[in-house]
Amino acid sequence: MLAKLLVAPVLALSLACLAAPAVAQQSMSSMHSMAMECTPDAMHAAMSKMGSQFSSMPSSGDMDKDYAHAMMSMAKGQRDLSAWEMKCGKDSKTMKMAKDSMHGAQSQYKAWDNIFNGGG
């Protein structure tokens, strides 16, 4: 009985582990315009660029859509910075947190995208 209860979580975890490199690769490829050098200056430049993109976001006049769009931008930034940490980080605990953060950001981005594009 216990084995049957564990099948779904173990399968889900296995699939998530298989998908992690693909998610990381997707996020890293979305960072093509960001400096992917593993230096503090490169990370700071990437964060500054994301901040300026966020602050220059135009208003649509629809506060709900603007909020969803802002949340999508934040989730994308979180995903991109997590990919940067996974590539450049040295501390295993921080890198694991980045991996977990990336998965959460990916889910959030999809949910906000669904709302932003009228599916919610």
Q: For residue 63, is it within any domain? A: no
Reported as a single tens digit per residue, the pLDDT across 19-54 is 444 444 444 444 444 446 888 888 888 788 878 877
In a domain, 67, yes or no: no
95 within a domain of the structure (yes/no): yes
Residue 3 has pLDDT above 60, yes or no: no
CA–CA distance, 24 with 27 (Å, rounded to integer): 5
Total of domains in the chain: 1
- Domain contains 26: no
Cα separation, 39 vs 50, in Å, equals 17
Q: Which amino acid is at 84?
A: W
Instruction: State both tokens at 118.
Output: 């009228």
Q: What is the pLDDT of residues 99-113, one digit of tens each?
A: 999 988 888 888 888
- Indicate the pTM of the whole model: 0.60
What percent of the chain has pLDDT above 70? 68
Examine residue 106 and state whether it is found in any structural domain, yes or no.
yes
Q: What is the mean pLDDT of residues 53-81?
A: 86
Host domain of residue 107: 76-120
DSSP three-state, residue 44: helix
Question: For residue 102, is it within any domain?
Answer: yes
